[in-house]
């Protein structure tokens, strides 16, 4: 029986909000399907925001491989859609992230590409909702009935991304006493989050609860999506679910997702749902979002592109990567002048090292002993020199033009 592949990416979704990764009760549906999933516990994004993370997810390449291109997809990036389409796979995408719009070239290789750039949105609701993405994807899935060609479907939800505006249905499930109007929630976004006001502890706690409410809503949207898959005859297809990066709530002195490399931003959830599995698998092998395109190609029996830098996650026993890199420009918010220094991260084993080009500084953490990254051990551990040698060749490696 032919099986198709669906990739669902969730913007700005922290791994610790999924119950299957800890003690959260925000994701009852995701938790309920774990018996049919391979769960990756140490999967790393290649960057802490969309422009730095999505080149890996869609093209198995790093953000700075081609310099500072500010979102444009250069011809050198080989998109998973291009590889699959050449091999006869139908490709479709439904998303609402402006950084991934057709305008920037991310629509290469897609038979259907909906980027919502002409949708009616507002400052308070700047993205098309997951429910609308489900609806459009559901209509497309209906259109595939009776067709012989296999398909690859990519969907992206923006609902967890700021500004966090939640409805009572989901806020009450998180905190029955959280009674904020949409206008009050938006004011928190403007006055606390946008200003990076880390002194406003009460405001940050409310933002966190609204964020949790949005995660809870996304879980409900994923449940609806699985229902749509079943109704359209695709209940046996494979579904890969991940996030492009996380979000910070003053974990390390900041808010949102700026140019930092702490785990709340770059250690992202990743599961592969396979309904033929009868017992869930959890692996603590260090993996990367770079591995998603080769994994998708493997599932279709297609050879990975030579330009891709990841490797297939399947079969698990053949996976050989030892560590994961991430990189970004040290910017805050959406404002980038083009002169900001680079930030780099590398994790191998329990050790993680972070380099900030701006002040030529290094930090190192033992994530087994210090999972919240509070104790810098750089220079006091025998692995420091080894980790430095991994990172240094990557700094400023692109050809400057």
Query: Would you give per-residue pLDDT tens digits along the chain (401 residues)?
Result: 578 999 999 999 999 999 999 989 999 999 999 999 999 999 999 999 999 999 999 999 999 998 877 668 999 999 999 999 999 999 999 999 999 999 999 999 999 999 999 999 999 999 999 999 999 999 999 999 889 899 999 999 999 999 999 999 999 999 999 999 999 999 999 999 999 999 999 999 999 999 999 999 999 999 999 999 999 999 999 999 999 999 999 999 999 999 999 999 999 999 999 999 999 999 999 999 999 999 999 999 999 999 999 999 999 999 999 999 999 999 876 555 556 899 999 999 999 999 999 999 999 999 999 999 999 999 998 999 999 999 999 999 875 54
For residue 23, the model assigns a pLDDT of: 85
For residue 332, the model assigns a pLDDT of: 73
**SS3 of residue 356 by DSSP:** strand
Q: Are 104 and 142 in contact (CB under 8 A)?
A: no
Buried b (16+ CB within 10 A) or exposed e, 178-208: bebeeeebbebbeebbeebebebeebbebbb
118 to each of 97, 126, 128, 178, 266, how far by Cα in Å?
12, 12, 10, 34, 31
Structure tokens at 328: 């970004």
Q: Are 204 and 255 in contact (CB under 8 A)?
A: yes
Q: What is the pTM of this model?
A: 0.97
For residue 71, the model assigns a pLDDT of: 66
Structure tokens at 182: 């949409």
Determine which helix (DSSP H) or strand (DSSP E) holds 363, and give its type and residue range: strand 361-366
d(CA 92, CA 386): 43
For residue 338, the model assigns a pLDDT of: 59
Q: Are 361 and 29 in contact (CB under 8 A)?
A: no
For residue 337, the model assigns a pLDDT of: 58
Work out the number of other CB atoms within 10 angstroms of the CB of residue 70: 11
| Structural domains of the chain, ranges and CATH numbers in brackets | 5-315 (3.40.720.10), 341-401 (3.30.1120)
For residue 258, the model assigns a pLDDT of: 95
């Amino acid at each position: 029986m032919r099986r198709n592949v669906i990739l669902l990416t969730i913007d700005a979704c922290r791994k610790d909000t999924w119950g299957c990764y800890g003690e959260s009760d925000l994701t009852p549906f995701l938790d309920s399907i774990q018996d049919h999933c391979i769960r990756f516990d140490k999967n790393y994004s290649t960057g802490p925001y969309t422009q730095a993370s999505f080149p890996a997810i869609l093209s198995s390449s790093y953000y700075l491989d081609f310099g500072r291109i500010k979102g444009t997809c250069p011809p050198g990036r080989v998109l998973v859609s291009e590889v699959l389409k050449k091999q006869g796979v139908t490709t479709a995408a439904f998303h609402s992230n402006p950084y991934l719009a057709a305008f920037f070239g991310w629509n290469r290789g897609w038979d259907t590409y909906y980027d919502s750039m002409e949708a009616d949105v507002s400052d308070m609701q700047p993205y098309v909702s997951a429910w609308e993405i489900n609806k459009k994807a559901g209509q497309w899935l209906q259109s595939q009935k009776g067709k012989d060609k296999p398909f690859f479907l990519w969907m992206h939800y923006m609902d967890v991304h700021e500004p966090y505006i939640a409805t009572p249905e989901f806020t009450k499930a998180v905190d029955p006493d959280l009674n904020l109007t949409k206008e009050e929630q938006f004011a928190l976004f403007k006055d606390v989050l946008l200003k990076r006001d880390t002194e406003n502890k009460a405001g940050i706690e409310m933002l966190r609860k609204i964020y949790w409410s949005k995660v809870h809503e996304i879980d409900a949207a994923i449940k609806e999506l699985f229902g749509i898959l079943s109704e359209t005859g695709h209940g046996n297809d494979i579904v890969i679910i991940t996030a492009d990066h996380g979000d910070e709530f003053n974990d390390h002195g900041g808010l949102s997702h700026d140019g930092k490399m702490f785990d709340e931003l770059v250690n992202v959830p990743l599961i592969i749902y396979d309904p033929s599995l009868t017992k869930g698998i959890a692996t603590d092998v260090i993996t990367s979002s770079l591995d998603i395109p080769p994994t998708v190609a493997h599932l279709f029996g297609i050879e990975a592109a030579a330009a891709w830098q990841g490797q297939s996650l399947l079969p698990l026993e053949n996976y050989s990567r030892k560590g994961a890199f991430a990189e970004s420009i040290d910017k805050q918010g959406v404002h980038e002048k083009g002169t900001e220094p680079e930030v780099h991260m590398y994790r191998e084993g329990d050790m993680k090292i972070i380099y900030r080009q701006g002040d030529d500084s290094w930090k190192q953490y033992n994530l087994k002993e210090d999972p919240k990254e509070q104790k810098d051990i750089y220079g006091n551990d025998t692995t420091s020199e080894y980790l430095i040698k991994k990172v240094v060749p990557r700094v400023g490696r692109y050809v400057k033009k």
